[in-house]
């Protein structure tokens, strides 16, 4: 595994250790790795396979099955537009289209500067405040298409300030 840094190996080994007493810990391990690094590339899957004895083919199957796991890095800010029924009937498709247009991304894609990922969410359970948009877990209520630019700028400004 030439691509993995020593520190990553240590960290992932620590995550696997955390669940050594659980009967079938694969999902828990993957969730923690996804949270820590934002994606689960093949090299990491191979390492997990070595550490747990679960065949890498099976791990790959699991990683690609669940939408929370990603093979490629996500942007720093993940903009999720809810397309649950309550949001959809209140026009969230138009909100998604607007974000798509502003960021020039299809859902699932990440901007070249690695700042934004545009995602489709399947109901965050915030139906009362539909259409809902979530950015890194922060939920924006009753978003109108014309407010999309405001949300994007909020994070762009945050970045500019940090520089």
Partner 1 sequence: MAKIETIKTEKQLLDKIEHCGACLEKKFHCQDGHRAIVICGGTGCLSSESAEILAKFQKIIIEKGLSETVTANIVGCFGFCSQGPFVKIFPEETLYTKVKMSDVEEIIEKDIVNHEIVERLLFVDPVTKQKVQKQHDINFYKLQKRDIALHGNDEINPEDIDEALGDGTFIALNKALHMTRQEVIDEVLKSGLRGRGGAGFPTGRKWQFAYNVESEDKYIICNGDEGDPGAFMDRSIIEGNPCNVIEGMMIAGYAIGAKNGYFYVRAEYPVAVDRLKKAIAELEEAGLLGDHILGTDFSFRCHIRLGAGAFVCGEETALLNSVEGKRGMPRPRPPFPAVKGLWGKPSVINNVETLANVPYIIREGAAHYASFGTDDSKGTKVFALGGKVNNVGLVEVPMGTTLRQLIFDIGGGIPNNKKFKAIQTGGPSGGCLTEKDLDTPIDYGSLIAHGSMMGSGGAIVMDEDNCMVDVAKFYMTFICDESCGKCSPCRIGTKRCLEILTNICDGKGTLQDLESLKELSAVIKANSLCGLGQTATNPIISTMAAFPDEYRAHVVDHVCPAHVCKSMTQYHIVPDECFGCGMCARGCPAGAIFKTEEPSKKNPRLMLHEIDQSKCVKCGACMTACRFHAIIKK
- With a CB cutoff of 8 Å and minimum separation 6, the contacts of 2 are none
131 touches partner 1 by CB under 8 A: no
- By beta-carbon proximity to partner 1, the closer residue of 69 and 116 is 69
In b/e form, how buried is each residue of 22-50, taking b as 16+ CB within 10 angstroms?
eeebbeebbbbbbeebeebbeebbbbbbe
- By beta-carbon proximity to partner 1, the closer residue of 2 and 26 is 26
Instruction: Yes or no: say if 4 and 47 are a contact pair by the CB < 8 Å rule.
Output: yes
DSSP string, 81-109: EE-SHHHHHTTHHHHHHHHHHHHT--TT-
Q: Find the shortest distance in angstroms from Cβ 113 to partner 1.
A: 24
53 touches partner 1 by CB under 8 A: no
Enumerate residues 86-125 that contact partner 1 by CB under 8 A: 86-90, 94, 121-125
CB atoms within 10 A of CB 68: 10
- By beta-carbon proximity to partner 1, the closer residue of 61 and 114 is 61
Q: Find the shortest distance in angstroms from Cβ 42 to partner 1.
A: 17
CA dihedral 64, 68, 71, 76 (to 10 degrees): 170
Whole-angstrom Cα distance, residue 4 to residue 8? 6
- By beta-carbon proximity to partner 1, the closer residue of 105 and 119 is 119
Residue from 84, 105, 110, 131 touching partner 1 (CB under 8 A): that is 84
Binding site for partner 1 (CB under 8 A): 23-28, 30-31, 54, 58, 61-62, 65-69, 83-90, 94, 121-130, 132, 137-141, 145-146
């Amino acid at each position: 595994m030439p691509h993995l840094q020593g520190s990553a190996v240590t960290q992932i080994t620590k995550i696997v250790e955390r669940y050594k007493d659980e009967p079938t810990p694969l999902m828990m391990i993957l969730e923690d790795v996804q949270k820590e690094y934002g994606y689960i590339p093949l090299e990491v899957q191979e390492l997990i396979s070595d550490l747990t004895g679960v065949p890498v083919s099976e791990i790959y199957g699991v990683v690609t099955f669940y939408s929370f796991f990603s093979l490629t890095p996500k942007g720093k800010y993940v903009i999720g537009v809810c397309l649950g029924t309550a949001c959809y009937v209140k026009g969230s498709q138009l909100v998604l289209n607007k974000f798509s247009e502003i960021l020039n991304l299809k859902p699932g894609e990440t901007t070249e500067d690695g700042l934004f990922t545009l995602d489709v969410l399947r109901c965050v359970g915030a139906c009362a405040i539909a259409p809902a948009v979530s950015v890194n877990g922060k939920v924006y209520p009753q978003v109108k298409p014309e407010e999309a630019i405001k949300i994007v700028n909020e994070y762009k400004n945050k970045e500019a300030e940090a520089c």
